[in-house]
Amino acid sequence: MTTSEFESIKNKILVATKKRDMAEGAKQKIIENWEKSYNISTQEEVEIKLDELKKEISIDKEKRDKLMSKLESVTDWNSL
């Protein structure tokens, strides 16, 4: 192995280490945001919370659809 090959490998390792550290910092920031916003800190808790929110959205959509049906039944749209 030549000196230039060794330096190239060394530089690639340094770049990869910096990228790993940046990714770890970003991951930590995301976890802190989860804790602050939703009081959760693990991937499993995120998935549970996501399921809960999806159910809430589904319930809200059903309510919206029922209210829209009621509105359409009592409104004469042709006269608007």
Calculate the alpha carbon distances from 59 to 34, 63, 72 in Å: 24, 6, 20
pLDDT-based confidence at 43, cuts 50/70/90?
confident
- Domain of 30? 1-40
Note the helical H segments in 1-80. 3-38, 43-74
Residues 69, 52, single domain; the answer is yes
Residues 36, 46, single domain; the answer is no
Q: What is the reported pLDDT for 7?
A: 93
Residues 9, 36, single domain; the answer is yes
Residues 58, 28, single domain; the answer is no
User: Is the C-alpha dihedral spanning 49, 39, 44, 42 positive or negative?
Assistant: positive
Residues 18, 31, single domain; the answer is yes
Q: What is the reported pLDDT for 80?
A: 67
Q: What are 11-21's pLDDT values in tens digits?
A: 999 999 999 99
- The number of residues making up the chain comes to 80
Residues 1, 35, single domain; the answer is yes
| Lowest pLDDT segment from 3-12, 27-36, 54-63, 68-77 | 68-77
Please indicate, yes or no, if residue 6 is contained in any of the structural domains.
yes
Residues 26, 49, single domain; the answer is no
Residues 36, 51, single domain; the answer is no
**Predicted TM-score (pTM) above 0.75:** no
Residue bearing the bigger pLDDT, 30 or 78 = 30
